[in-house]
Structure 1
Amino acid sequence: MSIFRSLKSRNFKLFVYGQSISLIGTWMQKTAVSWLVYRLTGSAVLLGIVTFASLIPSLILSPYAGSYIDRHNRFKVLITTQVVSMLQAGALAAVIFFKFYNIPTILLLSLAQGIINAFDVTCRQSMMVDMVDNKDDLPNAIALNSTMTNFARIAGPAVAGIILSTLGEDFCFAINFFSYLPVLICLSMMKLSLTPHTTSQASIWDELQEGFKYVSRDKELSSLILMLTISSLFVIPFNTLMPIFAKDIFNGDAKTFSWFESAAGLGSILSAIYMATLKSSKNLIKIMITACIILGVSLLFLSLSGWLPLALLFMTLAGVGMMAQTSSINTYIQTHSIPAMRARAISYFVMAYQGMIPIGSLLIGLLAQHIGPRYAVLAEGLIALITVGLYLIYRSRVISIKPIENVKLTHS
């Protein structure tokens, strides 16, 4: 089937096998951390702070990570980030196993995870082109990678909900620790033909500046990154409030919370499957615009829903919009960036996506504390719709390019 065509590449297939297991463990840990913090503190602000700590390094370190990865062997960097991630997961599992419920310690370990991810995510994304034999299959590989990620987003919280209510948080963290073993095994079986990296004579600072100039001079690229930045800062962090929706608004428990996470994951995976069926990138901008509208409208209705099944439906639609927005921008960057700048361009995507979410999570936690979670999500939906309107105005007045339908892929 054409939807799985990139899996013909052995290296990418191994990558999918290993990551699919590890990502389920990662989402189990994320769900368990959120539930544990809210169970212990009952604080929406602390929920935001935990997310902030785990993602803020992406804002600060991603440009540096992109330059570092462009200068070093990407495969060795990836191996290192996976090993260190496993150690971080083991440390968190040990802390919870021995009932050391110390919020500062959890925050510190979340911060460590964020530092690792700043390098790991940029490295994995920039290596996609190296793992696919046929470069025409790159958009399909990116979409399948998103499908895998969002399948884990469904399975991880669903399994975590069961384990949290039966065995406890420590089992979720232990499973995540062991889930890194399949990744390391699959990586050891890969046979990659990476372009030999040459030691750059330029300083990291010079390469950081070079990457920024490259992104800023491309009006389409820079406007998409700015669009994602605003969305990540003011819209996507709606997920931070889902423990409150589950526990306080719908009088649920850990299982109810896992339903919200799984609903968003279901929408995301449906969206990712659609993206995987695309045979070209000519409509990526149109898809991104439509996705932003779907996300905004879904959040408006989610904020007003008083019936749990209806709220889960709009959560699913929000997942559709969120996934299509981020995936279309990611695919555009990877297929339109020149090879020498790919990791640095991707690092700005990571910074705009993962880097802004922690600040947004902190802001949405504070906002929900003052006006309530429903009005906070309502505000996020309105911002999403206003942002896409402003983007359309900017695009029609400033960006002078070929018609969207005529945009062609460029490959290394």
Structure 2
Amino acid sequence: MARKIGSRYTAHQILGRGSAGTVWLGEGPEGPVAIKLLREDLASDQELVGRFVQERTALLGLDHPHVVSVRDLVVDGNDLALVMDLVRGTDLRTRLDRERRLSPEAAVAIVADIADGLAAAHSAGVVHRDVKPENILLDMQGPLGPGSSHPALLTDFGVAKLIDTPRRTRATKIIGTPDYLAPEIIEGLPPRASVDIYALATVLYELLAGFTPFGGGHPGAVLRRHVTETVVPLPGIPDELWQLLVQCLAKAPASRLRASELGDRLREQLPHLAGIPPLDVDEPDDETSEDEPYEEDPHPTAATSATPRRGAVPLVPGSSPDSNRDTHTSMRVPAPDELAGGPRGTARAPRTAAERRPGSARHKSTTEAVRRRRLKLGAAAIVLAAAVGVGGWLATSSGDDGSAPQDTKQSSQP
């Protein structure tokens, strides 16, 4: 059923839904458009509406071949909408779901396109803040590029910033999708252009490997890994490309490349990637670590039985992933002790199957840490046993000469 959006646009058909609103196929004075209609509760928030209008100039000014242009912003009664170019194609998540992983040449070509789009946005002072496969569109009507890749365009600029108002997200909240969040966002720092580079490098890793470098399991575990763990190496790609990935996934924002540099460096790699097939790497499976046995849910449900796909982390333990591919997620910022692994004795949620990666660097480091800990405990036990033996010998000797075992009495005092 058609509906009017403002005085200039008509929405005809729903193309998709997300946490921020619904995307419609629409018609405007200049032809077909995509209309992102934000939720009614967002439209009724006067503070957000004011922020929406303030962002108008910046969003309308973004004009780049690899950015889905915003043509208009509509504020009309209960309607708050972004009118965008209509891209005839699909999103990158859909392609990943179908192919699992891409050839290095196709993956790098797509990410280089998005890096170019981000460079234009960052030059205009706009940070995307939610770069992920769901927000990357593939133009099926465009010319094929390296690796038979279609031109890639980044969409949903400005939506994260619009929703991230002080009224809606206090200092204890963060906005974003867990798998792609830069460490500085998790630690409560303001988002800069470098957060987009980190997220885009995460997307590249996912295109190559079939899973994100720090994803899997409860969102709290995902956030902690971003801050504390190093990225697992990927075999089978040129060392220069791997070094680019590592640099852009650096924990320190200043260590990452700028978007323009990343785009240029990626295109330099394309001639060396021609003909390389998709990587054959370990997939996450049901294996658990030695020190964290899997605890089966005593009351399994359909939701808990379903294994979430990589990149779609459920926000509530036991829930199923959002089939609507939410664009934005509000999460509590973990405390420092939680990021460090939590205080001793703190209960921890059972690790899900998706968290284990046999053969990964994290699994090896965990096993090594367990081995070292056991060695330390063994050594401590030997020392303790020796101390007990010596203490027993002293007590016996004291008893032989009729003196009281003073140390034993003192140790029993409160």
The TM-score with structure 1 as length reference comes to 0.27
Higher gyration radius (CA)? 2
The TM-score with structure 2 as length reference comes to 0.27
Structure number with higher relative contact order (C-alpha < 8 Å, ≥ 6 residues apart) = 1
Question: Which of the two has greater strand per residue?
Answer: 2
